[in-house]
């Protein structure tokens, strides 16, 4: 390959990070390490695939493999560290300090999300070929596969738009060198519109599954319920609150026996079962690992307080919030739901009041008030959506539709608050303000979803709505309280520029694609 060809390929690889997939074993029961191998760069997926339904299924399996790989490198750090509620004692210091540069490939590279998008594009465009070639592949199964691909593409673009804002919008798979590899960014509004269109297309097909035959697939693949949750989330981001409420209700008020439901028993064991063993009825979509299939991950290691590097810990402010909950439950109910040994752990539980730092027990705990996971059991799932999230998303949508909906919103917040044995929140919906309600809700989300990759997106969403009306209260002031990894003066200076809230485009992308424009903050 000459230098020109190599640069052309490198450009497209860096823009889309396309890996042309082959699968050594087409069975969806095999592990990701067995599913995946990469073709040479000048071979085309379409030349080898689309002869059977198993091949379509295998392509989708590849998307979930990509997402599993992204948990420690993207989903977790991008969703947590900038909020300041957690910090990392090893990697990603520049992310939590708001010092990311365009040279920082580990953070600024959007390629892994485009790997998912390209495979999803291939399924959407080419699954019909498998239908024509495989007599056992019926049209309903094909539509279900496409619905799953639309979900995966929409989810990937939603991560992209929340982190980079304006990104290339690619809706066709890369298949040969005749295609243009120079693609400019689309605006945030254009990307959001496409995300909504993808979700609507999947749902309108009537083929999105309510359940799968295998228990883990019900929570580990893109179902109708996952599409509802994603659409509600996207609508909150785009300030379409009535539609967000509608999609929340499609899940929360479904009469289907397969609909996920909120675990309501106010006990520590019930709450912790969401994370270990996982795949609870509250779960909507979670990325799967299974020790019996030799599928292990680094989540327990990343959160283990005995690990000297790459360790995620709660900030002092977040630790104080957990201790406040612990003291309340010990005083009133003697049951530490979602707090001590639930979401929170400190080095000396008997001296928790004086703790400076806490750790997330969800991933490295093996059970309630028991031992840590051992290395052979490093297989906790990573939850992307669960019903508690949808309950609080609906509360958010109601608050922002006006005072006549505030009483309903408080009732919803109380569902998760009461489940934690904390009683009702101390807010009178008839004597409060929108700001006070949103502050209460943001605190509730911080405690309920600690370590689940949502904190930064929550703060950013609350801050930027209505032309950044609440930026000072819900982002800048909150950041200064939580994030002690950088100086107050530096954080305030950086956060004054709205463009700094989004990541830079990686320098290699800019070098190889003249149509890309760098975020103005990083110029």
Residues 6+ apart with CB under 8 A from 236: 244, 393, 396, 397, 461
**174 shares a domain with 34:** yes
Would 508 be classed as within a structural domain?
A: yes
**162 shares a domain with 18:** yes
| Of 380, 403, 438, the domain-final residue | 380
CA angle 417, 420, 423 (to 5 degrees): 55
| Of 334, 359, 380, the domain-final residue | 380
> Is a pLDDT exceeding 90 seen at residue 6?
no
Q: Is 451 left (phi over 0), alpha (psi -120 to 50) or beta?
A: left
**C-alpha span between 200 and 175 (Å, rounded):** 27
**326 shares a domain with 179:** no
How many CB atoms lie under 10 A from the CB of residue 263?
19
Q: How many domains does one find in the chain?
A: 2
Would 15 be classed as within a structural domain?
A: yes
**176 shares a domain with 297:** no
Full domain range(s) for residue 353: 289-380
Would 357 be classed as within a structural domain?
A: yes
- Longest pairwise C-alpha distance within the chain: 73
Would 131 be classed as within a structural domain?
A: yes
Would 419 be classed as within a structural domain?
A: no
| Of 312, 346, 380, the domain-final residue | 380
Would 147 be classed as within a structural domain?
A: yes
End-to-end Cα spacing for the chain:
33
pLDDT tens figures, 288-328: 999 988 899 999 999 998 866 678 999 999 999 999 999 98
Sign of CA dihedral 146, 198, 462, 225: negative
Q: Report yes or no: 352 and 246 within 8 Å, Cβ to Cβ.
A: no
**C-alpha span between 144 and 122 (Å, rounded):** 15
pLDDT tens figures, 16-63: 433 334 332 333 334 443 333 333 333 345 545 799 999 999 999 999
**302 shares a domain with 170:** no
Would 420 be classed as within a structural domain?
A: no
**302 shares a domain with 178:** no
CA torsion angle for 273, 279, 285, 291 (degrees, to 10)? 110
DSSP of 224-245, one letter per residue?
HHHHHHHHHHHHHHTT-HHHHH
pLDDT tens figures, 424-440: 999 999 999 999 999 99
**C-alpha span between 334 and 421 (Å, rounded):** 9
**293 shares a domain with 181:** no
pLDDT tens figures, 79-127: 999 999 999 877 799 999 999 999 999 999 999 999 999 999 999 999 9
Would 456 be classed as within a structural domain?
A: no
Sign of CA dihedral 226, 232, 233, 235: positive
CATH code of the domain covering residue 133? 1.25.40
pLDDT tens figures, 152-181: 999 999 999 999 999 999 999 987 766 777
DSSP of 299-333, one letter per residue?
HHHHH-TT-SSS-EEE-HHHHHHHHHHHHHHHHHT
């Amino acid at each position: 390959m000459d230098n020109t060809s190599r640069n052309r390929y490198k450009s497209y690889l860096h823009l889309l990070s396309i890996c042309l997939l082959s699968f050594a074993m087409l069975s969806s029961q095999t592990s990701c390490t067995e599913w995946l191998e990469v073709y040479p760069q000048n071979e085309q997926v379409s030349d080898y695939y689309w002869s059977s339904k198993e091949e379509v299924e295998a392509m989708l399996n590849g998307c979930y493999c990509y997402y599993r790989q992204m948990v420690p490198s993207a989903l977790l750090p991008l969703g947590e560290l900038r909020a300041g509620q957690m910090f990392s004692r090893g990697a990603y210091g520049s992310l939590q300090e708001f010092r990311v540069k365009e040279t920082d490939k580990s953070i600024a590279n959007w390629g892994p999300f485009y790997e998912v998008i390209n495979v999803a594009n291939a399924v959407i465009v080419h699954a019909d070929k498998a239908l024509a070639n495989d007599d056992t592949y019926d049209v309903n199964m094909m539509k279900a596969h496409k619905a799953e691909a639309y979900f995966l593409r929409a989810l990937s673009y939603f991560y992209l738009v929340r982190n980079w804002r304006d990104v290339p919008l690619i809706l066709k798979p890369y298949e040969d060198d005749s295609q243009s590899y120079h693609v400019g960014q689309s605006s945030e509004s254009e990307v959001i519109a496409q995300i909504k269109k993808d979700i609507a297309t999947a749902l309108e097909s009537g083929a999105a599954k309510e359940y799968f035959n295998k228990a883990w697939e019900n929570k580990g693949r893109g179902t109708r319920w996952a599409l509802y949750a994603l659409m509600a989330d996207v609508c909150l981001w785009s300030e379409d609150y009535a539609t967000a409420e509608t999609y929340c209700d499609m899940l929360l008020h479904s009469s289907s026996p397969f609909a996920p439901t909120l675990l309501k028993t106010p006990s520590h064991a019930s709450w912790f079962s969401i994370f270990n063993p996982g795949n609870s009825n509250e779960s909507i979509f979670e990325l799967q690992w299974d020790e019996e299939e030799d599928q292990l991950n680094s989540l327990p290691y990343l959160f283990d307080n005995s690990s000297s590097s790459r360790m995620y810990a709660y900030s002092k402010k977040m630790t104080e919030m957990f201790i406040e909950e612990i003291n309340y439950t010990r005083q009133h109910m003697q049951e530490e739901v979602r707090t001590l040994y639930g979401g929170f752990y400190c080095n000396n539980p008997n001296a928790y009041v004086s703790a400076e730092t806490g750790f997330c027990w969800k991933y490295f705990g093996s059970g309630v008030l028991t031992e840590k996971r051992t290395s052979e059991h490093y297989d906790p799932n990573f939850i992307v959506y669960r019903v508690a999230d949808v309950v609080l998303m609906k509360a958010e949508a109601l608050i922002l539709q006006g005072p006549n909906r505030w009483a309903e919103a408080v009732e919803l917040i109380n569902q998760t608050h009461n489940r934690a044995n904390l009683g009702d929140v101390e807010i009178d919906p008839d004597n409060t303000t929108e700001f006070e309600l949103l502050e209460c809700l943001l605190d509730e989300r911080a405690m309920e979803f600690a370590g689940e990759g949502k904190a930064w997106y929550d703060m950013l969403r609350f801050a930027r709505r209505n032309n950044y009306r609440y930026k000072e209260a819900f982002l800048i002031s909150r950041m200064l309280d939580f994030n002690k990894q950088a100086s107050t003066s530096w954080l305030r200076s950086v956060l004054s520029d709205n463009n700094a809230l989004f990541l830079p485009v990686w320098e290699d992308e800019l070098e190889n694609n003249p149509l890309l424009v760098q975020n103005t903050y990083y110029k």
